[in-house]
Amino acid sequence: MKNILVIEDDKKMRDGLVEILTDEGYNVESAENGQVGLEKIKKKEFDVILTDLIMPVMGGMEVLMEIKHIKPGANVIIIT
């Protein structure tokens, strides 16, 4: 089963994505911001990472650059 991480600051959007992906049979974790997401990425392997583009504290492009530094082969999808 594929592991997916959803990084999204909007709770309604985050919960919706988690529900849809879980219903499709994926193992899904979520993070409310980029910093929390990066901590999860350091501790666990994810097959796909979905990250919002516009977030407070750390935007999606900054998150993407950090992910590529931590896990160069990571599959990242930026959502808006």
Sequence ranges of the domains in the chain: 3-79
- At 1 the pLDDT is 83
Order the strands of the 48-52 sheet from edge to edge.
27-31, 3-7, 48-52, 76-79
Answer whether CATH 3.40.50.2300 is correct for domain 3-79: yes
| Residues 7 and 18: beta-carbon distance below 8 Å | no
- At 62 the pLDDT is 94
Task: List the pLDDT tens digit at each of the 80 positions of the chain.
Answer: 899 999 999 999 999 999 999 999 999 999 999 999 999 999 999 999 999 999 988 988 999 999 999 999 999 999 98
- At 80 the pLDDT is 85
- At 57 the pLDDT is 84
